[in-house]
Amino acid sequence: MTVKTLLAESTEILREAGLSDPKLEIPKSPEHGEVSCTSAFELAKRLHKSPMEVAMDLASKARNVIDKRKGLIKSVEVVKPGFINFYVNWPSYAVKIIEDVLSFAEAYGASDTGKGRRILIEHTSVNPNKALHVGHARNVCLGSALARLYRFAGFSVIVTNYIDDSGSQMADIVLGIKHLGYSNEPPEGIRFDEYCGDKIYVEVNRLLEQKPELSERKRLLIKEIEDRLSEGFRLSREIALRVLKEQLKTCQRLGASYDILNRESDVVAFGLWKETFSKLKQKNACYLATSGPKAGCWMLDLSGHKTLSKEGDEVLVKSDGTTTYVARDIAYAAWKLGIIERDFKYKPFGKNRDQSDILITDIDGEVDFKIRDVDTTIAVVDIRQRRPQEIVKYALGLLGAEPSKYVHYAYEVVSLSTKEAERMGLDVSDTEFVHMKGREGIYVKADSVIDSIKEKVMSETTQRHPDWHPQKVESIAESVAVGAFVYALVKGDADKIIVFDREEALKIEGDTGPYLQYSYARACRIIEKSPIMQTKVKRREALEEQEMVLLREISLFPLIVEESVKLMLLKKLANYAYGLASAFNNFYESCPVLTGDEDTMNFRLSLIKAYLITMGNCLRILGIPIVEEM
């Protein structure tokens, strides 16, 4: 398949030339060919020769093989200090690239790398007490893109959302409604998740600072929420469900889909923690503290871990009998890897956008959803949870599991640019960016950002296309707004802080979602205006530089997908999408398509169709809506 075909052909040529295990790479600059071999450097040390001597000898033998084969590779050259570079017959290679892409269509770039392998990806996992802000949205976008990437690579993927409906943050909302007089109905025009997060959560935390006596009431509520027969539990579950339904509307807007929603409270209810706790005791991995500030608490013994042990052992069960979130996370992870027997039951909760079912854990559920024998489980959790996640991984090892099967996909937080913070009325003097703080109400909700971008796009689109129906304008504006937002959250290094600014995300030029969408729409317009119907890719003997650059980018897509899966690196795919869009726009500016002779027009239209397929597949993985008009 395109560049992978070229790599395979280069490998065969070098093996016939006497090199058993060629080391190949794709040169960064096309002047160094399409494939480069670096084996001469390694061989030179063993043969006590210079890399140039070894390379010249191999190249001479490779030329004889190339002359006999008459394949896509036409020549080989040696470049100091010892690179062996392969050059292709571009007229033949161009036809091969385009034919491959057109024949595979939406499967172009897909593979069977993951055939027979199962991966469980947990993402989102937001406490059901607030609306999703842009930091949560990064989790959703990264997790969703990973799921789509792995499916594209042939893996069987299960997507879960861990609903944190236990503990401190849920107790804040219950405290507000049950004891502090807050209504359980939001004001008119306000979503329930926004009401809980913006109003109750923020104000209750302010009251807790002002009135320390409320802390004891909150502590008792945390314990009460674990009692499934209590009023506190009933109210907590009702709140969590209502918030969750609103949160999932936002998640679906961002392109997310889920198989199962696992409630944290059900980890205890279904006995997962009980079984895990028993196993930890059997392994002598935990103990009951009898003295000191942790007296009466069950502790996980971390003395065997060289770094975790420095901060002391971890509390699993508090002295009042309540479990910590780390304890529940350990039990949940043990369930994911199938090292405990207890399992959840489910009931239908709703539908994804593709109408597939979403299930939620329920003590009275009648639906089984078995996930035994997953090869890897990936937890998309922000970098601030690195220690708890490492504790979970260590505990799995103590329980007899293979820790490497549990992967913490860590990502950095999203901060607000000074301009974004100023829009919120915050004091941003002497700061480059502002960290979000949910308890203080310093955050930007994902929906409000998308809505504001959408409003701007609608205004500009209406001015450019006054003849468009308002419904069409709104639909395209929604897609552009979501694309701008999603791409801004997935394009960077996962381990780097994102400084978010909606104005920057919306720019039509540069490394943005709308730039990718615009390049796609631009290509669609050319196809739409085409006066001919192509049936076969016509070979051209002389190609323009911009044509070869675009073809080269298209040919790389299968390799980019493969490397993105191997490295679990979404940035690589996002960078590729930007490079592909840039290559197309340069081609568009330099190579007229709908003028000139019919053979040139035919070839270039075929090339554009190959571009649309490649970019479309890339956008779908990243979660950026495809737009055919802008």
Question: Which strand (E) or helix (H) includes residue 137?
Answer: helix 134-152
Between 441 and 12, name the one with better pLDDT: 12
In a domain, 365, yes or no: no
Same structural domain for residues 511 and 617? yes
Out of 407, 427, 446, pick the residue that ends a domain.
Answer: 446
Same structural domain for residues 520 and 617? yes
Cα Rg of the chain (Å, integer): 28
In a domain, 119, yes or no: no
- The token pair at 431 is 């700061």
Q: Report whether 451 contacts 250 (CB < 8 A).
A: no
Q: Answer whether residue 206 shows pLDDT above 80.
A: yes
Alpha-carbon distance values, 578 to 87, 136, 278 (Å): 26, 24, 52
Question: Which contacts (CB < 8 Å, 24+ apart) does range 587-591 have?
Answer: 587/546, 587/547, 587/549, 587/550, 588/522, 588/523, 588/526, 590/544, 590/546, 591/544, 591/546, 591/547
Same structural domain for residues 526 and 611? yes
User: What are 284-330's pLDDT values in tens digits?
Assistant: 999 999 999 999 999 999 999 999 999 999 999 999 888 999 999 99
Q: Report whether 235 contacts 134 (CB < 8 A).
A: no
In a domain, 585, yes or no: yes
435 SS3 class: strand
d(CA 59, CA 21): 15
Question: Which strand (E) or helix (H) includes residue 245?
Answer: helix 231-253
- Which residues constitute the domain of residue 80? 3-88
In sequence order, the 6+-apart residues with CB closer than 8 A to the CB of 206 are none
As to burial, measured by CB atoms within 10 angstroms (0-12 exposed, 13-18 middle, 19+ buried), residue 620 is middle
As to burial, measured by CB atoms within 10 angstroms (0-12 exposed, 13-18 middle, 19+ buried), residue 608 is buried
What is the rounded average pLDDT of the residues 77-99? 95
Q: Tell me what pLDDT residue 559 has.
A: 95
In a domain, 477, yes or no: no
Q: Tell me what pLDDT residue 439 has.
A: 59
Same structural domain for residues 518 and 610? yes
User: What are 186-197's pLDDT values in tens digits?
Assistant: 999 999 999 999
Same structural domain for residues 426 and 513? no
Q: Tell me what pLDDT residue 475 has.
A: 96
Same structural domain for residues 439 and 524? no
Give the domain CATH number at 610.
Answer: 1.10.730.10
Q: Tell me what pLDDT residue 232 has.
A: 92
Q: Answer whether residue 5 shows pLDDT above 80.
A: yes
Same structural domain for residues 601 and 515? yes
In a domain, 10, yes or no: yes
Q: pLDDT class for 334, splitting at 50, 70, 90?
A: very high
What is the rounded average pLDDT of the residues 336-340? 94
What is the rounded average pLDDT of the residues 169-191? 94
d(CA 304, CA 302): 5
- The token pair at 257 is 């889909």
In a domain, 493, yes or no: no
Tell me which of 9-23, 63-77, 419-433, 606-620 is least confident. 419-433
Closest CA to 241 of 107, 408, 415, 358: 358
Q: pLDDT class for 571, splitting at 50, 70, 90?
A: very high
In a domain, 372, yes or no: no
Out of 27, 60, 88, pick the residue that ends a domain.
Answer: 88
Alpha-carbon distance values, 396 to 285, 300, 331, 337 (Å): 11, 12, 9, 9
Q: Report whether 424 contacts 134 (CB < 8 A).
A: no
d(CA 341, CA 339): 7
d(CA 267, CA 331): 7
CA angle 582, 587, 591 (to 5 degrees): 165
Determine how many CB atoms are found less than 10 A away from the CB of residue 456: 17
What is the rounded average pLDDT of the residues 143-160? 98
Give the residues across from 158 on adjacent strands: 120
d(CA 354, CA 219): 42
d(CA 224, CA 229): 9
Q: Answer whether residue 382 shows pLDDT above 80.
A: yes
> 134-152 and 446-464 helices cross at what angle (nearest 10)?
80
User: What are 520-538's pLDDT values in tens digits?
Assistant: 999 999 999 988 776 688 8
User: What are 413-436's pLDDT values in tens digits?
Assistant: 888 888 877 776 666 666 666 666
The mean of the pLDDT values for the chain is 93
User: What are 607-618's pLDDT values in tens digits?
Assistant: 999 999 999 999
Q: Answer whether residue 282 shows pLDDT above 80.
A: yes
In a domain, 482, yes or no: no
- What is the SS3 string spanning 352-403? CCCCCEEEEECCCCCECCCCCCCCEEEEEEEHHHHHHHHHHHHHHHHCCCCH
Edge to edge, the sheet with strand 24-25 lists: 24-25, 35-37, 83-88, 73-79
Is the pTM above the cut of 0.85? yes
Same structural domain for residues 511 and 610? yes
Same structural domain for residues 517 and 440? no
436 SS3 class: coil
Same structural domain for residues 515 and 618? yes
Closest CA to 616 of 54, 107, 23, 67: 107
For the chain, report the end-to-end CA distance as a whole number of angstroms: 32
Same structural domain for residues 441 and 534? no
What is the rounded average pLDDT of the residues 253-261? 97
Q: Tell me what pLDDT residue 27 has.
A: 93
**Which value, to the nearest 10 degrees, does the dihedral of the CA atoms of residues 341, 140, 153, 571 take?**
-130
What is the rounded average pLDDT of the residues 534-546? 87
Same structural domain for residues 590 and 512? yes
- The token pair at 598 is 């019919």
Q: Answer whether residue 504 shows pLDDT above 70.
A: yes
Out of 88, 113, 144, pick the residue that ends a domain.
Answer: 88
430-442 burial, b if ≥16 CB within 10 A, otherwise e? eeebbebebeebb
Residue 614 dihedral angles phi and psi, to the nearest 5°: -65, -50
- Domains of the chain: total: 3
Q: Tell me what pLDDT residue 477 has.
A: 96
Give the domain CATH number at 79.
Answer: 3.30.1360.70
Residue type at position 313 = D
* HSE, side-chain direction, 13 A CA sphere, residue 240: 27
Q: Tell me what pLDDT residue 468 has.
A: 95
User: What are 440-464's pLDDT values in tens digits?
Assistant: 666 788 999 999 999 999 999 999 9
Q: Tell me what pLDDT residue 1 has.
A: 61
Closest CA to 416 of 137, 201, 134: 134
What is the rounded average pLDDT of the residues 596-613? 92
User: What are 216-229's pLDDT values in tens digits?
Assistant: 999 999 889 888 99
Alpha-carbon distance values, 112 to 101, 294, 326, 560, 562 (Å): 17, 51, 36, 15, 10
